[in-house]
Amino acid sequence: MKQSEFLNVVMPFKDKLYRLAKRLLVSREEAEDATQEILMKLWAKNENIGKYNNVEAFAMTMTKNFCLDRLKSRQAGNLKLVHSNYGDDNTSLQKQVEVKDSLDWVGKIMEELPEQQKMILQLRDVEEYDFDEIGELLNMKPTAIRVALSRARKTVREKLMQKHSYGIG
């Protein structure tokens, strides 16, 4: 596969790889490093990349595994979940602070979720993958994905309601 073909195949989903890496790792820099590493690994496999049915799913799986390995390594002992995909310049300062606070709380709550639920929530609600694609990425049945997603959403919702209702925090 030539470089131009590779770029046409891989670059459309490069941002998804980055967002998944950012969800799992601590910082923008860590996510950028992970994304670059995955792109280099994909390029190293460029001769065989055409043999995969779904290159995007393969790359997402590589990203997930790479990030989980980083999290397990000693280098990543202090990594945590960070998420801030929100931005709206037309809102008041107070509203921006409230939204940032809510996003921070969602991030803290998601840190406490089991790894599988965290991955499913990221893939379904942020990346907007369908259940079959998530099943392929995580090697799970759609029913199990729906159950885990429901539990993750319920946990996030309950903890946010508890925080807002009782002033915890």
For the chain, give every domain's residue range. 1-80, 91-169
Query: What confidence score (pLDDT) does residue 49 get?
Result: 80
- 155-166 tens-digit pLDDT: 988 888 887 766
Residue 1: band (very low, low, confident or very high) from pLDDT cuts 50, 70, 90: low
Give how far Cα 139 sits from Cα of 17, 67, 146, Å: 18, 17, 14
Whether pLDDT at 102 is above 80: no
CA distance 18 to 16: 5
Query: What confidence score (pLDDT) does residue 150 get?
Result: 93
Query: What confidence score (pLDDT) does residue 159 get?
Result: 86
- 13-52 tens-digit pLDDT: 999 999 888 888 867 888 899 999 999 998 888 888 878 8
CA distance 125 to 157: 14
Flag whether the pTM goes above 0.75: no
Query: What confidence score (pLDDT) does residue 107 get?
Result: 78
Place of tokens 């009782």: 166
CA distance 48 to 77: 35
In the predicted model, what is the mean pLDDT of the chain? Answer: 81
- 120-139 tens-digit pLDDT: 988 888 788 889 989 988 99
Residue 84: band (very low, low, confident or very high) from pLDDT cuts 50, 70, 90: very low
Domain at 1-80: CATH code? 1.10.1740.10
Q: Per CATH, which fold does 91-169 belong to?
A: Arc Repressor Mutant, subunit A (1.10.10)
Whether pLDDT at 81 is above 70: no
> In the numeric block, which tokens belong to residue 15?
């941002």
Within 8 A by CB and 6+ apart from 132, the residues are: 142
Q: In CATH terms, are 1-80 and 91-169 the same topology?
A: no
